[in-house]
Structure 1
Amino acid sequence: MTDNLIDPRGTEIPADPQATDRAAAPTACTPLGWKRRLIRFSLLGAGVGALAGLAAVLPLRDIADTLSAMGPSAVFAVAFLGGMLLSVLVPRTLITMTCGALLGAVTGSAAALAAAVIAAVATYYAGRWAGRGALQARAGSRLARLDGWLNRRGLAAVLLVRFLPLAPFGLVGYAYGTTSVCRKRYLLGTTIAAIPSTVTYAVIGAAVVAPGEMNFLTLAPAAFSFVLSTAIILRWRHTARRAPLPA
């Protein structure tokens, strides 16, 4: 125990001011060790693989009949089931078109968007659990610089990655979970980027069942997505001169 000092006015001064600062400072989140991270990645991979295997043998016709008999509550069931399938890397285009075919263009779009948000949340937090601190494990490494770059770009980075078909929807969510990107920006960017393609593919799915509903407006959301992603890319090319992508 250290003795404190007394100033001329009688005020007590800590002998080691830094000790007070250290005591008051919040404890930083310690990254996982590589062994624990490897175990968690293995468990996550095994779980996703097992669920993907189950999804491949689902009785789709029976499920469709059951959903049709559920009435309005089918929207919630479709959204939840779609979110789980997206989390095990089932292609989002297939899920969205199925939502449109089962529920119609408008309701199917809402269910497919809800499924995308559910999958985004599930995969992000699963990636967080398995790989927290993975990119910052080696200070100064290429991955650590990439993590910092993604974090600085924030919402724009999420929008660009989600707009461009770089990887399956669920896989991108797992990858973002290992970064330090703010979850609010990640979820907001994912939701915004999912809207145009969700509406487009849900309308196409509905048109497959009822061809008379297909019209020229079907491609409008896709065109909007293309224009917006192009604008983001051009903006990044402009700002990359000042803050280039880490090598």
Structure 2
Amino acid sequence: MSAGLLFGTLTGTIIVSISGTVAAAAAFLIARYFARERILKLVEGNKKFLAIDKAIGENGFRVVTLLRLSPLLPFSVGNYLYGLTSVKFVPYVLGSWLGMLPGTWAYVSAGAFGRAIIQEESDVGFHGGSNQFLTLGLGLLATVLAAAYVTRLAKDAIKDLE
């Protein structure tokens, strides 16, 4: 939201998207290279974990993208957990970026909406002035509705994977 307030919707989304994806990639690599071998030794006989690991490895991009779209798993925890699975790095990064993009856009748009409110109040108040306030408000509403719809689709798709 701060990025939207400070930089506007487009620039704020680009900044947050890049930084969020880099942070997710860093956490993934930390888990992959410092913990994966230990975890594999701990779950050596666990057929359920091995089956889940295999499914994620084979469908990494799809699984990561869908789970990022659906808030079933907190992002910070997910970043490390994916590093413990056999998902490949590039599909993980691309799936993370794509799956986080709608939520990023929604939060940054909310910040840009706040910026528009502040500018309207300081420039001309709510009487008259530009249509920026209305445009951003409608855009934010559309973004929230689209995010809710995509979340429902992602949850349904995750159920299908199970």
Is 2:113–2:140's contact at 8 Å kept on the other side of the alignment?
Answer: no
Correspondence 1:199 to 2:121: no
Contact 1:158–1:190 under 8 Å retained in 2: yes
Amino acid at match of 1:112: V
- In structure 2, the partner of 1:139 is 44
Is the radius of gyration larger for structure 1 or structure 2?
Answer: 1
Listed one character per residue, the Cα deviations across residues 164-201 of structure 1 (whole Å, up to 9, x for unaligned) are: 22344222111111111111111111111111111111
- Match for residue 220 of structure 1 among 132, 142, 147: 142
Pair 158,208 (structure 1): closer, same or farther in 2 beyond 3 Å: same
Listed one character per residue, the Cα deviations across residues 50-84 of structure 1 (whole Å, up to 9, x for unaligned) are: xxxxxxxxxxxxxxxxxxxxxxxxxxxxxxxxxxx
1:118 and 2:22 aligned: yes
Which residue number corresponds to residue 229 of structure 1? 151
Q: How many residues align?
A: 144
Alignment TM-score, normalising by the size of structure 1: 0.52
User: 1:115, 1:239 → 2: CA distance?
Assistant: 30
Structure 2, unaligned stretches of length 5 or more?
A: 121-132
Q: 1:134–1:164: structure 2 CA closer, same or farther, 3 Å change rule? A: farther
Q: Which secondary structure state, in structure 2, belongs to the residue aligned with residue 194 of structure 1?
A: helix
Which amino acid in structure 2 is aligned with residue 98 of structure 1? Answer: S
Unaligned runs of 5+ in 1: 1-96, 241-247
Q: Which has the higher helix share?
A: 2
What is the distance in 1 between the residues matched to 2:88 and 2:55?
13
Match of 1:164 in 2: 70
Once superposed, what is the RMSD of the aligned Cα atoms? Answer: 2.1
Distance 1:235 1:202, change over 3 A: closer
Shift of the alpha carbon at 1:134? 4.1
Tell whether the 8 Å contact from 1:117 to 1:191 is kept in structure 2 after alignment: yes
Q: 1:107 aligns with which of 5, 8, 11?
A: 11
Following the alignment from structure 1 to structure 2, what is the Cα–Cα distance between the partners of residues 169 and 236? Answer: 16
1:150 aligned to which of 37, 53, 56: 56
| Bigger relative contact order (CA 8 A; separation at least 6) | 2
Give the secondary-structure state (helix, strand or coil) at the position aligned to 2:76: helix
In the superposition, relative to structure 1, how do residues 125 and 238 fare at CA in structure 2: closer, same or farther (>3 Å)? closer
Contact 1:136 1:147 in 2 (8 A): no
Separation in structure 2 between the aligned mates of residue 113 and residue 206 of structure 1, nearest angstrom: 15
Task: State the one-letter code of the partner of 2:19.
Answer: A
Percent identity, please: 26
